[in-house]
Structure 1
Amino acid sequence: MNTTNTTQATEGELAQFASYSAPCTSVPDAFIEALEEGQAIHAANEALEEALINDTGLIALPSDVTVRDLEYALPNRRRARGTMATPFVTPFAQYATAYAGPGACVFVNPESMQARAVLDLGTQETPGHADHSAQLAPVRTAAYDALRNITSGASSQQTIAEFFEDWAGQVQFFNADGEITPKQAIAAVRRITIEALSKVESEEQQLSANRSAFESVTASSKEPIPTTVYFMCKPYADLNDRVFVLRLAILTGEKAPRITLRIQKLEEHTEEMATELCDLVSNAIAGAMPVLVGSYSKGA
């Protein structure tokens, strides 16, 4: 076998192949950009996976990388979140107890007359996201809302008379002589007479002179004018009936008389209603979770 010829032929072929000039191929820029973007996404996914596995919660990503949540494409949500809102205690307690997780707690705010159950509060060792809650926001009844509106400032005779007529079944009228019938009280409010009396005193002395003027204004009516009004109503749907005592006053400084109604001890009523709401929530929750007086806000 002639190995020498074989070797020479091989070297010749190699020389011929080396002298061959292949045509240049240009790679599109879009392909290079897509390749680089794919590498960047792959690196970001690896960094995210490492952060989740190590439970650091921190990850370094370039500013042009967008993290997208694909939960909407999954068959189920990863966890429950959202807010259930109701003006009634019973459905609030039903939802809170049905979906309460570890560390769930109810916070009752007496100032706003509202309650909030944070259902995924978690514990100190495993804190939750605190974004699943139930909100109790009682709504004023029509009667209590009308009462708060009419006592917010001075009103005309007609406005006060119509208020008494609308809620005649829930009001009682009194003055210094005792109880007044609704018919008498409404007629008195509609027929108020303003009497002004002016008096001037003058004294002349040899070396001095004194003059003084007095003016008195009196409001009166043919019917007895009530000075105290009892208004009974249920302030909120789940609360008990309550009697509000109103003071009636007549302002005579304008052309036509103006009437004011003021709720006595309104602050005390507010405190008592807040305490009643706390008790209602506690009884409805029935020990399923703690009920605290205050409010809760999730930190950053």
Structure 2
Amino acid sequence: MSLTKDALQLITDNALAAAGKELETDTPVVLIPEGSKVVDLERFQHGRSRFRGTYSTHSLVDFGAYVVERAAPDARGFIDQDAMSCVMLFNLGTPDLPGHADDRAVLRLKASAAFAAVQAVCGQALAQKAMSDWIEDWNQHLAATDENGATMSIAKAIAAVRTITVKASSESDHAVSETRTSRSTMDAIEASSKETLPAWLDFKVTPFEGLGEQVIRLRVSVITSGAQPVLKLRWIGEEAQREAIAQEFKAVLDDKVGTAAKLSLGTFDAK
């Protein structure tokens, strides 16, 4: 008795389904019939096959405590200093015994309200009222000094910003001879105030929870090129101070984690 093509395929499929033949590949695979499918039985078990999940927080203290509590032999943490974040992989494993890298903790430091405010205002052209309002809103963080380095009260700094006067003057020179005529004109624009204008504002702030206090020095500039004067604040030594904050972040994280995990600078893509 001859068998049809469909009958032969059915016999082959049943044989493969019963045997579940494994193939000799680097990644374990099993040969199964095309009409069959793989079913994950984990949901029918009493518990999960393994612990996995992601813990996320903005708190450096809570992150450190969680890592210490979950300490694993091959735990690795990767610190991104630009993003002020850290990803901890508890089951990354080793090159010889790689893990799934899906049991992790993620720390993303959140800038404090005051630090976010000073970052937002730096370099912005603000009208007198907007600048005086900003100084008034954050007065508890600020200290003002004049061009000579003398300390002045925040109330006087606000009054000086609100009463800026712009004076413009012109000076012309004319020279005439038998062969040529020349003329030069010089315009001078000066901004002044009834009160002494602050030259610097020192902004005391804790940039991120868990880190130390920083003093950000802001240079006050008055721009007189428009119809109305505007003011700008420039963060003096911004790049160096940001780098110092990032280095402090790594040092504090090292202290919180201790020997519970090995930390490295950079990022890791667990594909």
TM over 0.5: yes
State the Cα deviation string for residues 58-87 of structure 1 (Å, max 9, x = none): 455677654343323322111122211111
The counterpart of 1:288, out of the listed 236, 243, 260, is 260
Aligned mates of 1:42, 1:207 — CA distance in 2: 112
* Residue 233 of structure 1: how far off its partner (Å): 1.0
Is residue 2:102 matched to residue 1:131? yes
State the Cα deviation string for residues 172-216 of structure 1 (Å, max 9, x = none): 111123111111110011111111112222211110011111111
Of Structure 1 and Structure 2, the greater strand share is in 2
Aligned to 1:273: 245
Aligned mates of 1:84, 1:215 — CA distance in 2: 63
Is residue 2:218 matched to residue 1:246? yes
- Aligned pair in 2 of structure 1 residues 194, 54: CA closer, same or farther (>3 Å)? closer
Cα contact 1:232–1:241 (8 A) shared by 2: yes
Cα contact 2:131–2:161 (8 A) shared by 1: yes
State the Cα deviation string for residues 50-109 of structure 1 (Å, max 9, x = none): 25x987424556776543433233221111222111111222122223334341111111
RMSD: 2.5
Aligned to 1:90: 61
Cα contact 1:71–1:78 (8 A) shared by 2: yes
Is residue 2:202 matched to residue 1:230? yes
**Which is further off, 290-299 or 261-270?**
290-299
Matches within 5 A, 1:170-209: 170-177=141-148, 178-209=150-181
State the Cα deviation string for residues 146-173 of structure 1 (Å, max 9, x = none): 1111114211211111111112122111
- Aligned pair in 2 of structure 1 residues 129, 181: CA closer, same or farther (>3 Å)? same
Cα contact 2:72–2:261 (8 A) shared by 1: no
Structure number, greater radius of gyration: 1
- Aligned pair in 2 of structure 1 residues 210, 291: CA closer, same or farther (>3 Å)? same
Aligned mates of 2:202, 2:46 — CA distance in 1: 60
Aligned to 1:27: none
Q: 1:226 aligns to what SS in structure 2?
A: coil
* Residue 135 of structure 1: how far off its partner (Å): 0.7
Aligned mates of 1:256, 1:249 — CA distance in 2: 14
Matches within 5 A, 1:17-166: 36=10, 40=13, 43=16, 46-47=19-20, 50-51=22-23, 56-59=27-30, 66-166=37-137
The counterpart of 1:262, out of the listed 234, 240, 243, is 234
Q: 1:256 aligns to what SS in structure 2?
A: coil
Aligned mates of 1:214, 1:249 — CA distance in 2: 22
- Aligned pair in 2 of structure 1 residues 207, 102: CA closer, same or farther (>3 Å)? same
Aligned mates of 2:35, 2:129 — CA distance in 1: 68
Give the fraction of aligned pairs with identical amino acids, expressed as a percent.
28
Aligned to 2:3: none
Q: TM-score, normalised by structure 1?
A: 0.80
1:207 partner letter: T
Q: TM-score, normalised by structure 2?
A: 0.88
- Aligned pair in 2 of structure 1 residues 95, 208: CA closer, same or farther (>3 Å)? same
Cα contact 1:119–1:133 (8 A) shared by 2: yes
Cα contact 2:91–2:99 (8 A) shared by 1: yes
* Residue 271 of structure 1: how far off its partner (Å): 1.1
1:118 partner letter: L
Cα contact 1:102–1:121 (8 A) shared by 2: no
